[in-house]
Structure formats: structure tokens, C-alpha cells
Amino acid sequence: MGTEETDGGVDRISGLPDHLLHSILLRLPDTAAAARTGALSRRWRRVWAHLPELSFRDHGVGPRYLSPAHRRVDAALAAHAGATVTLLDIHLRYWSPAVDRAAPPAFLRFASRRVAGELRLSVRDRCFSADIDLTPCERSRTTAIALTFHGQLLRFQRPPPTGGGEFAALATLRIKKANVDTGQLGDAVSSSRCPRLKELFLKQVALRGGPGGDHVLSIRSGSLERLEIDVRAANFHARLHVDAPRLRTLVNPRVFSDADIVAPNLSEVCWYGPYHPTSHRLGEAGRRRHLQRLEIATDSPAVMLMQHYDTVHELQLTVKIWKGDQKYKQYLEAIDKLSKCEVLVVRFAVIEHAVKPALRHLLMKCSGVKKIVVCCLASHKVPCESKSCQCKCTGSKLRSNKTGNIALDLLEQPHGMQ
């Protein structure tokens, strides 16, 4: 394949149509490797420049101030001849906007104008703040954005007065390991900026307060259907306000001391953070009194959510019983609040207590359950030393072999349980 001709004719691989050659080049580690195939022949020089997917991996070899990686990416994108790409995936080890603030990376302009699909951008260097201007062009076709910044500050620039500040096609936004201003983030994901946003994922994101130090994240979206939040704040007074009439799934709203969720179509809730009915309000969702799925842990105040709803189709319960008989009593109090459900999924993470009595006490509360799934995440082999702990009660017998619709004599003990 290293020459244009083999046995007096063009080699078979070079004779393939471009779309097949693209399939071959896309299997290489990154776009830089694909570009090096241009040394094979004239035929191959233009193939990589029309790839529909571009991937750049910088491993930070050599001093960071020599030939900045994002400048090399900009040069490669300038040579790309395709009208659009369906994926632009950029991983940089070092990037110092402080050095290049006068000339921001061209790859952001490329992404805004020519990515008709997904943009992935990851910067690993913790030493510099990333001043990212994600303002799209007027006809942005980016449908998904994934941003990973290891501790840097991610800024969302306000749109210019002349317009062009919308991600008209954006459906999924993922932000990971970044420091984000709450006001900028709320504005960036609003319906006016992202009219078609359906999924928002914030993972290990540190929230920065507004001008007055107010940590309020306000999300107002008429299109949002899934919201997953795993954030931390500089203080313990962070507040969350969500107004999303189409929101169906809410996952892990941790850290917020106050939350106001207005979501009349909410059907799935995963809540492991702090919870109190007076400071964490589920608004219109509570009026329905029914959820399709609720996921909580028995050692969390969120067990009170089981009383917030009359029925839950699928209840996913993580059972955590730590050392001491008082913790086992708390577990028994928690399952007294068990929601009426048809499907019960139980995950045991038990320390110094037997799983079997914990499961027995739980089954006694399962009237009406049609299906039970049990798994053991962890179980400490050292027995509980408290003689008064109810985990040692062997006299707690079920009154019959059947409770509601459950044939308990048909339940099998999973492998590895005590």
C-alpha cells in the first residue's frame, strides 16, 4: 500500500471509493494518524481531509509552551475540506488561555459552524482556567456537547446583541469536573439559548456564586426531559430552582440545602442527597402522588420521599446498615415508610449485620409487591456484637407463606448472601 501502483496497476485499497477509505481511517487512533497516510500516495493526501469524524489526542510531550496543542488542532482543522463533521473529539493535556487570550482557539469557531453532531472537549491540566466561549453561530447544528475540565473555570459567554447566541439543535449537554458560575450556567441552558435541550448532566461540577455570592442554580427549560446533578458548592447554602414542564427524570440533586422543583410530569426520581419536605419541594409533581420509579437509600433522609407518593411502580432501595444496633433500628424505622409498589429492587450494603434478617424484616412490609430483585453489594463477615440488636432476632416469623401477591416460598436466596 506504500506505492501508487502494484503489479502494474493501482493498488486495490487506493482504488476503493472515499466512503470506504473513510471507514478504514476512522479505525486509526486519531486524526493525526489518519493524516499521516497522506505520505502513501497522492490519492491518500486528500482522503483524511474529508473525514466525517475528527479526533485529536494530545499527550503533552515536551514543554507546554512549545507549539501549543490547540494550535496544532487549529491547523489541522484549517486543512479539513469537508462541509460538516458529525463528531469533533478533542482531548488536550495542556492549554493556557492566559497565553493565547488575544487569539482564542479556532476549533471553537469550527465546532460552532461545522459540527453537525457531537462536540467533545476535554482539558486535563489543572493549572489554568479555561475561558471558553461557547456562543454558537446563527445556524449551529451541534446536537450534543460533552465538556470535561479538571478543576478549571468554565465560562459561558453571553450572546452578542446581534443574535446568534442559540444552540438551536442542542439536545444533550454534559459538563464534568468544571467550576461553573451558577448564573451563567442557568442562562446557557435556558429555553432562549437551548430551545431543544432534552438532557442535562452535571457531574462533579463545582458551583460558584453570583456577584453577591448567592449560590442559586436556576434552570428554566420548556424542553428538558432528564436532569442529572452531582455538584458541590463553596458553602452549604446552595439553592436549586427547576421549572421544567416536560421533565420526567431527576437524578441526584445533592448539596442543595433548598430545592424547588416544578415538574408536573416527573415520573422518575433518584435522590441520595439531603431531603426535608419544607426545604426540598417537588411542587406540582407531588400532586400526582405517583411515580414510575423511585431510587433512594435507607440511611438517607430521602426515605421520607416514600411517604410523599401514594404509589411507586418500581422502588429501588439501597439498604445501608452500618455498625451498631441503633443503625439497625433506623433501618427498621425507614422500611416502615415503604411505598406501595409493584416492583422492589433491593441492594444490600450491610456491615456487621446479617442480610437474611434484614431481608426478612423488609419482606414483612411488602404487601402487594409482585416482583422482588435482591442483590448484595457488600456484607461484612464479622457478626454484630450487640446482643440486643434486632438483626439477631430469630423469632420474627412471617405469619404465612404468602403476603399479598408474593409467593415467598418461591423466592431464591442470591449467591453470596448470609
pLDDT digits (tens, 9 = 90+) for 345-383: 988 876 666 677 788 888 887 777 888 888 877 655 556
User: What is d(CA 45, CA 35) in angstroms, rounded to the nearest whole number?
Assistant: 8
User: What is d(CA 179, CA 366) in angstroms, rounded to the nearest whole number?
Assistant: 44
Torsions phi, psi for 54 (to 5 deg): -125, 135
179: three-class secondary structure by DSSP: strand
Residue 45 counted as domain residue: no
pTM for the structure as a whole: 0.81
- Give the number of other CB atoms < 10 A from CB of residue 59: 11
* Angle, alpha carbons 330-366-347 (nearest 5°): 60
Residue 327 counted as domain residue: yes
- Give the residue carrying C-alpha cell 485529536: 56
Provide the pLDDT for residue 213: 59
Residue 330 counted as domain residue: yes
Cell, residue 304: 421520607
- Give the number of other CB atoms < 10 A from CB of residue 15: 11
Q: CA dist 15 to 10, 26, 44, Å? A: 7, 18, 10
User: What is d(CA 115, CA 146) in angstroms, rounded to the nearest whole number?
Assistant: 13
The closest of 340, 333, 263 to 308, measured between CA atoms, is 340
Using 70 as the pLDDT threshold, list the residues of the chain that sit under it: 1-11, 59-68, 94-105, 125-138, 157-165, 210-214, 233-236, 283-288, 324, 350-354, 378-388, 390-418
197: three-class secondary structure by DSSP: coil
The torsion defined by the Cα of 190, 195, 201 and 205, in degrees rounded to 10, comes to -30
Provide the pLDDT for residue 356: 75
Provide the pLDDT for residue 116: 92
Cell, residue 85: 463533521
Residue 312 counted as domain residue: yes
Q: Answer yes or no: are the C-beta atoms of 92 and 58 closer than 8 Å.
A: yes
User: What is d(CA 145, CA 416) in angstroms, rounded to the nearest whole number?
Assistant: 42
Q: Answer yes or no: are the C-beta atoms of 326 and 304 closer than 8 Å.
A: no
User: Which domain covers residue 360, as residue numbers?
Assistant: 289-408
408: three-class secondary structure by DSSP: helix
Residue 334 counted as domain residue: yes
How many domains, in total, are found in the chain? Answer: 1
152: three-class secondary structure by DSSP: coil
Question: How many helices (H) does the chain have, and how many strands (E)?
Answer: 10, 23
Q: DSSP strand E in 329-387: where?
A: 340-350, 371-379
Mind listing the pLDDT tens digit for each residue in 181-215?
Answer: 888 889 889 998 899 999 999 998 888 876 555 67
Residue 301 counted as domain residue: yes
Cell, residue 9: 496497476
Residue 234 counted as domain residue: no
The torsion defined by the Cα of 12, 13, 16 and 18, in degrees rounded to 10, comes to -160
Provide the pLDDT for residue 407: 44
User: What is d(CA 218, CA 86) in angstroms, rounded to the nearest whole number?
Assistant: 31
